[in-house]
Amino acid sequence: MTDKQLKNISKFLSLVLRHRPEVIGIKLNEQGWVGVDELLEKLKAKGKNISLEQLEEVVKNNNKKRFAFNEDKTLIRANQGHSISLDLGYEAVEPPRSLYHGTATRFLDSIQKTGLEKRNRHHVHLSEELDTATNVGGRHGKVVVLIIDAEQMHKDGFKFFVSENGVWLTDHVPTQYILFP
């Protein structure tokens, strides 16, 4: 499968597993899982004929590790980034001292007023890696990376979670915990 095909499948899976499962007529369970056989069947019915091997390749090779199978590969879900109501079952954990958030410079004024908000997603997404934050922010325009005082947030009672693909999640990052450039 070409990189372009992988990317196209990944984008469509992001749509149905994170935002609009009804597009292909599937229902996610309360933790965001759907049966692999059902997913493949519904994709085929919508003209997206993807084999199990191709789906496995997308899950394995997606550079952002957006998707995960359960242990016996009978279920699949998106790891984070959902705009639909789910309980992903993540346990709160202690974060590292600092985390990063990549964004576009055009969003700085808003962030300086309200902090980082989850908006239509379940959580604010943060990274332990500067490079990852830079790549994420670069998708939205001229990039700026914000440093988050996760240690102090945690001490002040904010909860942090880590998705299966290593993305750090929290509900809100108030401005006092953000180091602006």
What confidence tens digit (pLDDT) does each residue in 110-137 have? Answer: 999 999 998 877 789 999 999 989 988 8
Looking at every residue in the chain, the average pLDDT score rounds to 90
Q: Which residue has 């902090």 as its token pair?
A: 115
Q: How confident is the model at residue 86 (pLDDT cuts 50, 70, 90)?
A: low
CATH classification (class only), 99-179: alpha beta
pLDDT tens, residue by residue, 153-165: 999 999 999 987 7
Architecture of domain 3-78: Orthogonal Bundle (1.10)
Fold match flag (3-78 vs 99-179): no
Q: Work out the number of other CB atoms within 10 angstroms of the CB of residue 125.
A: 21
Q: How many residues does the chain have?
A: 181
- Rg of the chain over Cα atoms, rounded to whole angstroms, equals 17
Domain boundaries along the sequence of the chain: 3-78, 99-179
For residue range 25-46, what is the model confidence (pLDDT) as tens digits?
999 988 889 999 999 999 999 9
Element containing residue 21 per DSSP (H, E):
none
Q: Quickly count helices (H) and strands (E) in the chain.
A: 6, 11
* Side chain identity, residue 150: A
Q: What is the pLDDT of residues 1-32, one digit of tens each?
A: 788 888 888 889 989 998 899 999 999 988 88
Lookup result for tokens 């990317």: 7
Residue 63: the pLDDT is: 66
Q: pTM for the whole thing?
A: 0.64
Most confidently modeled range among 135-139, 167-171, 172-176:
172-176
107 pLDDT above the threshold of 90 = yes
